[in-house]
Structure 1
Amino acid sequence: MPTAAFEVELMPRLGPAVADYPPGSTFGPRDARTYEFVWLLSGSATWLWDDLRVPLTPGTLLLVRPGMRDSFHWDPRRSTRHAYVHFTLRGGGDGGGDGGAAAGGVAAASGAAWPIVRDLGGRPDPMGALCQYLLWLGASCPPGWREQAAETLRLLVLTFLAPPPASPGDASGGLPEPVVAAMSAVRSAWSDGVARPVGLERLAATAGVSVSTLCRAFQRRFGLGPVAALERLRLARAEPLLWMSNLSLQAIAVQCGFADAYHFSRRFRAVYGVAPSAFRATPPQTAPPSPLVASGLAALEPLTPSL
């Protein structure tokens, strides 16, 4: 995927904008000369390139690359409305041909590895919002809108080419299946916002494995057993509460599932090396590192409810 070391240039008079096609319209074959994002707002279409026939529906984002000889067949039964924007990538050669080695920081991505379409809905990601913002910029044209649109497009390209994030409950990303399954018990226990302890037997039963099997899975992946791993998750939840709230240590202790401020402070000092009161007075940039980073426990955070 590309790095941040590239720039985007909008093509004059080629979006971001909206086009309406009557039923049965076609476009192409054409040789694409720029990059182009296309997303349907209503209706449907089929996009054809080489041997590919890609159905397009509202909520689908298509990326056309320079050098593609493609065509569109719009909905034969009703009008279709779609949004589009043409752009180039700058930084040392535009990729040409099959869209392979594109500008500067994009050179690491081969054309064949680039995705064709992405879903704008069904999972949390910013692409839908970025597309809406592009359309707003193109329609309202506030001062400096072209520069804002170029930066928005750059972020859209980065997000489009990034691997889709794993959804909660998905064992992808290297997490063992028993670990992912056990975290459903944590989601249930923490659903009211209180990160309370969850018993080892309950975790194993939810995962459908023995306690020893679950402990081995956690140890191999994180170097910690399930109970210790969850305690570090609970302690990490205290960080924003210490820095960005006026809550007492007792209130923070309860929110993080500890019986009282004394127990919370003792465990916090054991893991962070400083007392919670000292941590609260320390600027974030010089505070002790999170216990989730070195152990890889941050991978478990998406499987827990938000604060």
Structure 2
Amino acid sequence: MDSVHVPVLVDEIIEFFKHIHGVFFDCTVGLGGHAEAILTRIDSSVVVGLDIDDEALDFAKKRLERFIEEGRVKLLKSSYVDATRVLKDLGISQVDAILMDLGVSSMQLEKAERGFSFNRDGPLDMRMNKQQTLTAYDVVNFWDEEALRKIIFEYGEEKRYARRIARFIVRNRPIETTKQLVEVLAKAIPDKYARKRHFATRVFQAIRIAVNNELENLKKFLVQVPTMLKPGGRIAVISFHSLEDRIVKEFFRTCFELKQLTKKPITPREAEIKLNPRARSAKLRVAERV
């Protein structure tokens, strides 16, 4: 897994955080790549890391083992929606920096049984937290046509064929696997349109967002930031699609307790994209608590 897990925009994040010494709150610790970089490259740093994915946390614990032994890392299973409560339970009133990487981890994409990837045949799952009840199977097979059209239109930003795709999904039920869903989508989307990008990309994104309530959870987290962050502290958010980026952009712009440090999002350099093609859609925004 080390060979496929490459954290994105690491140098850029360290550049924004390099003068900060104290508690770094990694709210989506994932496989621990960003946390490892912070602990290695920033003196006197301590990381509190959250994730709701048990497999990711297990991997991060192994990756960060030496720092855990030094008492510089605390990893917890929790949603970032509960960030304020988590800090309170740890006896921490405020932190010096906050990091969020909103991307799907390489481990989640590579494991067919997680159901995140249209390139691998597996069950329709897509849960970040495998203890939750709602799965992609439920969305695909039990949501009505209008509900499917709405999420494909809004979360997948599929403006042209959302209704047609939803109709094809309903007509071809039951759909058991990612491969079967891809086959249905291939029938629903005209070939000429589908060639512009993989025809399943937007639909899989829409279903994943719906399953994990990603956009609403992001909004619930952001309103907690001014309370959690010390004056002079910084928050860095990496997003991977325009829906998330717009939410972050608007919050940073309108929150009077934050000062934007990135008027435009920072994106990966060509050299990074060449080494890690998954980084190509990443956007980094940073703000400082005033």
Superposed pair shares fold, TM > 0.5: no
Instruction: Point out the structure with the larger strand share.
Output: 1
When the two structures are superposed, what TM-score results if normalisation uses the length of structure 2? 0.26
When the two structures are superposed, what TM-score results if normalisation uses the length of structure 1? 0.25
Q: RCO greater where, 1 or 2, for CA within 8 Å and sep 6 or more?
A: 2
**Who wins on radius of gyration, i.e. which is larger?**
1
Instruction: Point out the structure with the larger helix share.
Output: 2
